[in-house]
Structure 1
Amino acid sequence: MTGPVPSPLLLIEDTPSLQMVYRSVLQTAGHTVQAASNAAEGMRLFQETGAVTVLLDLMLPDRDGLAVMREMLALRPETRVIVITANASINRAVEAMRAGAHDFLVKPFDEVRFLGAVANASGATGTLPKPAQKRAVTAEPDVVAEVFIGSSAAMRRVQTTIRSVAGSMATVFITGESGTGKELCAVAVHAGSPRAGGPFIALNCGAIPQDLLESEVFGHMKGSFTGAISDKQGAAAAADGGTLFLDEICEMAPALQTKLLRFLQTSTVQPVGAVRPRKVNVRIVCATNRDPAEAVRRGEFREDLYYRLFVVPVHMPALRDRGEDVVEIAEIALERFAREEGRQFDGFDPEVLDLFRRLSWPGNVRQVLNVIRNIVVLHPGGRVTLAMLPDSLQRAEPVTGAAPKPDATGGLDSLIGRSMAEIERLVIEETIARNGGSVPKAARVLELSPSTIYRKLEGWGLKPQL
């Protein structure tokens, strides 16, 4: 005897390319999807299919998305609506949340965040969280090698650490610049653990307005505040039996840090408006692109919470510190994107790979993937030449060896045209030099922690004075 067939997800997105991408990701994760390109078609499918999870773009050609959501909730209050909006319209997303939206996504968002939001909504409606199931099925024993492309010594150290810690319950604290793959690292920890069969719930603490963050983490009860028209399961409860990934943890408001510390100490969650707490079994993985110790020193992050979370640190190295990995990443990305777009490419000219090796890649792996995607989309195929690279990349100044010193008489003019990474290095090196080579003294001048400067010097291949 079979159980009831889950209702499909309803996707309402008017941009054909985005609708195709979202639909493909959802179907790959095991969901049945009905898609509409406008409000009228969306409302028709909503009534015909009985969908209880809806992905709704707020900018539709024939009607305001917020009005569509209100009509859906009036017809079926149990509906979980995930609204999608552009970064410039973040206030609209907040308005939607207050009007009863279950979650929101700000473009551009990655696949893990996308599927995490859907899994959370699906779990809240009582259906099986298929994205987490799919991840568990596809997790191979050596998933770490699959997640991280690159054979540099720096990446081998990261892979070794993840393999060692994945099987434990220890909290993992991931640091690294934006675009280095911190969320992929979290996915690898989850997929390599005994919890791989459970949910992986990702929450970006920096992308959610602070007045909504507590509800996102711990949930809320119907009527607990204006706009709470139904119960909402928080990310902590949705991750029960699996992993909760808190990205940009240092952006969390102090009041919520206190509640997170209590959650870590008691393993219980209490939704806003709830009378009693609930016990959950969750493994915490967190990440930040800041120096967490510096955030503690500045009073922006609780020291006791820092020591509670900073159990197994994993630092994701910048791409400029990974040697030949950039070539390996570019070649694999070219093959994959070409296959997705149905095109045939024959690799890179040597001049292109030489340029890739010499660039600083301030956007790290994410920047490389965007560049390769741009090439594949805008060209029919063949061998990738310098002329096929985006204009911004061709104008980028290669960085090799020590950072060149600016003209002492040039003032600000000598810095114009340089990348922020170069300027940062110039300022740090000059400050150290003016303080007799003392890193601690330079740290006080720059209001940084000495450990931050030591790590940067190590990344630049320089040996500081002790």
Structure 2
Amino acid sequence: MSPAARPVGTDSRARGGAPAEAGRPRPILLIEDTPSLQMVYRSVLASAGHRVAVAGTAAEGLTRFGEVLPNVVLLDLMLPDRDGLDLMQDMLRLRPETNVIVITANGSINKAVEAMRAGAHEFLVKPFDEQRFLGAVENASIARETRQLRRPLPEPNAPPPPTSAFLGSSETMARIHAKIRSAARSMATVFITGESGTGKELCALAVHDTSPRASGPFIALNCGAIPQDLLESEVFGHVKGSFTGAIADKPGAAAAADGGTLFLDEICEMAPALQTKLLRFLQTSMVQPVGATRPRKVNVRIVCATNRDPLDAVRRGQFREDLYYRLFVVPIHMPPLRERGNDVIEIAEAALARFAAEEGREFFGLDAEVTALFRRHPWPGNVRQVLNVIRNIVVLNDGGLVTMRMLPDAFTDHLELPQEEPPTPAAPTDELTADSLIGRTLAEIEQIVIEATIARHGGSVPKAARVLDVSPSTLYRKRDAWKS
């Protein structure tokens, strides 16, 4: 079963996790009382390069929370000593900026909805696969990092902040920078399009940071990550007692962004009923929380984004045409990384320096082979994929120059990497028979078979790796060992 499809919400204990070290990201705190699931969740997170602190009870979880001060918490709502929702509220009172991902079983979805209303970042319903699990963690981490990135720039015509999505000297990005500077000075709505991972939220942040509103709040809301029955409350807020679980007044994203910028990501995922209310808000600037009797006026600049074709969504009847024309005033298209030329090298090298500093490692850059590969690779995951690959390299290697052998298996499995001159095989590879192998050690036989397979496929290590059902990086490491 492939990693993306392997279920991780179904069952198998590892305790641990250390307080955050200077210069390193804080561990993710996992609070789960089932030992088997503790082990599975922690293994998946560790394989993705995350450090994990684990607790099995609510009491232990609150103690570990105070020790490691995590930015992201994975919380099972069904704990043996206390209700998980009460624990979450205690943690958010201590550190409101924490992003809590709640985990629940099928029969407790109402509990998860209640948790979302009380401030949870997202919820997962068991069983879920690795891709969904890691995606939720990544989104929570990115949301936290994006908030930390917000800062005003000293001059109105200065370029956007040098985040990974905006590094690069390509002509394409120069045009993006110019459009951002022009759009930032106005109150016009900005509509950002582009593939997943191209940096749409960071583009929105750049619009905010180069605008006169830079000192005000930047509030981001992902319309596709919030259940539709909660989205109205998330956008416009609610008053205490307006529905079950509304234990306190909540201002909502629109009111929280008063004087600043409201970023609505994945806008095409918004339900039609809420699209109507959003259109009314854009026309009147009036916010009326769920359960409130009177609206209030707010001063908000709207930036929205989608990875879909918004006009196609209009044609399909999934997005209101009048809302489309109200939002699509200043369009900015974030180009895929494959259209940005040498920008990928600048992004990779900047990420390498940043991650190496966080992890306390010393890397000197990319070697010529890796640089050539990165330039010609299509990068379907765009900037996000580059950051993932570089993070993996930094976490799993001690330092030095980044070489082909350091690339993650998941990245190299389907690549045609540059061919090398194979080392002299330990035995002729024209014909392999049982008789020709008898009397040799198992290590010698392995080398003979591997070199013969590579030779049969024209010297292509990736093709040989597919035949042998191993990762190309495994074969590269073995060949390096044979040379030494």
The TM-score range, normalised by the shorter chain, is: 0.5 to 0.7
**Worse-superposed segment, 316-325 or 81-90:** 81-90
Q: CA deviation at 1:225?
A: 1.2
**In 1, Cα distance between the equivalents of 2:18 and 2:338?**
32
Asked whether the 8 Å contact 1:355–1:398 carries over to 2, the reply is no
Paired position in structure 1 for 2:138: 108
Structure 2 counterpart of 1:197:
215
Which has the greater radius of gyration? 2
Q: 1:176 deviation in Å?
A: 0.2
Is 1:262 equivalent to 2:277 in the alignment?
no
Q: For residue 85 of structure 1, what is the aligned residue in structure 2?
A: 101
Amino acid at match of 2:17: P
Q: Percent identity?
A: 61
CA distance in 2, matches of 1:293, 1:367: 27
Q: What displacement does 1:104 show?
A: 1.8
What is the alpha-carbon root mean square deviation over aligned residues?
A: 3.8
Are residues 1:314 and 2:328 paired? no
Distance 1:166 1:279 in 2: 22
How far apart are the structure 1 equivalents of 2:88 and 2:345? 49
Which residue is equivalent to 2:467?
A: none
SS state of the match for residue 233, structure 1? coil
- In 2, the alpha carbon distance for the partners of 1:72 and 1:353 equals 45
Residue deviations 1:131-167 (CA, integer Å, cap 9, x gap): 68x8335666534152310111111110110011111
Question: Which residue of the other structure, out of 300, 308, 311, is the alignment partner of 1:282?
Answer: 300
Distance 1:138 1:340, change over 3 A: farther
**In structure 1, the residue corresponding to 2:213 is in which secondary structure?**
helix
1:224 is displaced (CA, Å) by 1.1
Q: Which consecutive residues of structure 2, in runs of 5 or more, have no partner in the other structure?
A: 1-14, 29-52, 123-135, 418-462, 464-484
Q: State the AA in 2 paired with 1:16.
A: G
Q: How does 1:2-401 map to 2 (within 5 A)?
A: 16=17, 39-41=58-60, 43=62, 57-59=74-76, 63=79, 67-70=83-86, 84-85=100-101, 95-98=111-114, 101-105=118-122, 106-109=136-139, 111=141, 113-114=143-144, 135-136=150-151, 142-144=158-160, 146-147=162-163, 148-397=166-415
Contact kept in structure 1, 2:104 and 2:112, CA below 8 Å: no
Q: Which runs of 5+ in 1 are unaligned?
A: 1-13, 26-34, 117-130, 400-416, 418-466
Total equivalences in the alignment: 359
Give the TM-score of the pair, scaled to structure 2: 0.66
How far off its partner does 1:92 sit?
Answer: 6.4
Counterparts of 2:106 and 2:332 in 1: how far apart (Å)? 32
Task: Indicate how the Cα distance of structure 1 residues 362 and 87 shifts in structure 2: closer, same or farther if over 3 A, else same.
Answer: farther
- Could you say what secondary structure the match of 2:139 adopts? coil
- Indicate conservation of the 8 Å contact 1:186/1:245, yes or no: yes
Moved more, 84-93 or 288-297: 84-93
Displacement after TM superposition at 1:70 (Å): 2.6
Code of the aligned partner of 2:150? R
When structure 1 is superposed on structure 2, of 193-202 and 63-72 the one drifting more is 63-72
Q: Residue 356 and residue 75 in structure 1: after superposition, are their counterparts in 2 closer, same or farther (change >3 A)? A: closer
Give the direction of change, closer, same or farther, for the CA distance of 1:65–1:149 in structure 2 (3 Å limit): farther
Aligned counterparts of 1:270 and 1:94: Cα–Cα separation in 2: 25
Q: Distance in 2 between matches of 1:357 and 1:88?
A: 43
Compared with structure 1, are the counterparts of its residues 75 and 252 closer, same or farther at alpha carbon in structure 2 (3 Å cutoff)? closer
